[in-house]
Structure 1
Amino acid sequence: MKLHWSPRSPFVRKVMIVAHELGLADRLTTTRTVVGMEQINEALLAENPLNKIPTLVLDDGQVIYDSLTICEYFCDLAGGHLFGTGAARWEVLTRHALANSFLDALILYRSEATRAPAQQSAGLLAAFATKTTAMLNHVSAPPPGRADIGDITLAVALAYLDFRFAHIGWREGRPALAEWYAAFSARPSMIATTAVDG
């Protein structure tokens, strides 16, 4: 299986963490793929018209995207239960949706914050800052030792805050969440997928 990959993408990291958790990482061939909101990758576009990573290409040529769909495919392939079963599935998926939407907002926040000062929208930056605080105030520390798709995505979002928004200092006033994140970050799947700027 070929995975269009980047060492900086939080959505790619989520997929890679799931692959490690399920014992599938060694079955993946990662292909460094550079994309951006204004950067089209012609090779990727031929496989994914959204021009987004992660994109998974199976050995038979079938293409799977986005990150949630790829994670579900990995769970199906490995017989994993990262999505919960029965009524619990909806709670897991709702936590995933919250953390995943948080990641979406952080990507847009960073895009706006890195524009030239004269081109930045003060209103957008203020809205993103408010949403970031609201999200952090809303989530609570998950139970220790659990690692479902909601937990994984929350950990990736907090890691992305450290990676791109270190000035926010999200741990302040949130000791339980900070303690959970520190413990979760020690998982081999998190260590193996640490984001790097390169």
Structure 2
Amino acid sequence: MKLLKAGPSPFVRKVLVTLHETDQIGDVDMVDVTASPVAPDPALIAANPVGKIPALVRPDGPALYDSRVICRFLDHRAQSGLYPDSRIWDTLTLEATADGIMDAAVLIIYEERFRPREQVSMDWIEGQWGKVARALDALETRWLSHLAGPLDMGQIAVACALGYLDFRHDARKWRTGRDGLARWHEAFCTRPSMVATDPMA
């Protein structure tokens, strides 16, 4: 299999962490592509018509894309239990919350990087950060008990989302007022899978 990836994408990192946690990292060749929202790599478009990373090219079927699809496939392939039946809806909702943080955080970067400076909308940027802040508050007030439980995909996704905030939006100081979430993230980041995929390493 081949994983099409680019830069420090938190969605790619989520897949990489999953590969490490399920002992499948050696089964996948890494292929770097260009993932610009205005000029995506032809190789990426061939795998994913939407032109987004990551995409997983399989020898025995069509390429898979969207990190949630890829991670669910990898979990099924390894029978690793990262989507446990006993708490599947909580796990999926937590993963979706984390992905929402990633989406908004990446869109802020795109707004600043790909629009002419005079066209950048600070109102739009703050609107995106509002999504991030509300999701972080929800993690702090509603999800700490789940995050403290057995490893699942919700936890992996949240850790990757928070890691991306550290990497791209450190000035926002997401930890302020969220001590429980900050402590959980610090501990989770000691996992070998997180150390191996740290974009700041």
8 Å CA contact 2:100–2:132 kept in 1: the answer is: no
Aligned length: 196
CA distance in 1, matches of 2:189, 2:2: 26
**Alpha-carbon deviations, 1:1-56, whole Å to 9, x = none?**
11102241111100010110000001110001111111221122122211111111
CA distance in 1, matches of 2:139, 2:44: 35
- Identity score, percent: 37
RMSD in angstroms over aligned alpha carbons?
A: 1.7
- Sort the Cα spacing of 1:22 and 1:46 in 2 relative to 1 into closer, same or farther, 3 A: same
Give the counterpart letter for 1:108 in structure 2: L
Give the counterpart letter for 1:74 in structure 2: L
Structure ranking higher in helix proportion: 2
CA distance in 2, matches of 1:9, 1:193: 11
Runs of 4+ in 1 over 6 A off after TM superposition: none
Residue 85 of structure 1 aligns with which residue?
A: 85
CA distance in 2, matches of 1:13, 1:100: 12
8 Å CA contact 1:96–1:150 kept in 2: the answer is: yes
Unmatched 5+ residue regions in structure 1? Answer: none
8 Å CA contact 2:11–2:53 kept in 1: the answer is: yes
Give the counterpart letter for 1:84 in structure 2: P
Residue 122 of structure 1 aligns with which residue?
A: 122
Equivalent residue for 1:184, pick from 173, 185, 188: 188
8 Å CA contact 1:7–1:13 kept in 2: the answer is: no
**Structure 1 residues 135-144 or 105-114, which shifts more?**
135-144
Give the counterpart letter for 1:161 in structure 2: L
SS in 2 for 1:62: strand
Unmatched 5+ residue regions in structure 2? Answer: none
**Alpha-carbon deviations, 1:88-135, whole Å to 9, x = none?**
101110111111111111111221233443111122022123222212
Match status 1:76 vs 2:76? yes
CA distance in 1, matches of 2:21, 2:172: 29
8 Å CA contact 2:147–2:155 kept in 1: the answer is: no
Residue 194 of structure 1 aligns with which residue?
A: 198
TM-score, length basis structure 2? 0.91
Residue 171 of structure 1 aligns with which residue?
A: 175
- Sort the Cα spacing of 1:145 and 1:46 in 2 relative to 1 into closer, same or farther, 3 A: same
Post-superposition shift, 1:143?
4.0
Residue 102 of structure 1 aligns with which residue?
A: 101
CA distance in 1, matches of 2:112, 2:50: 23
Match status 1:160 vs 2:164? yes
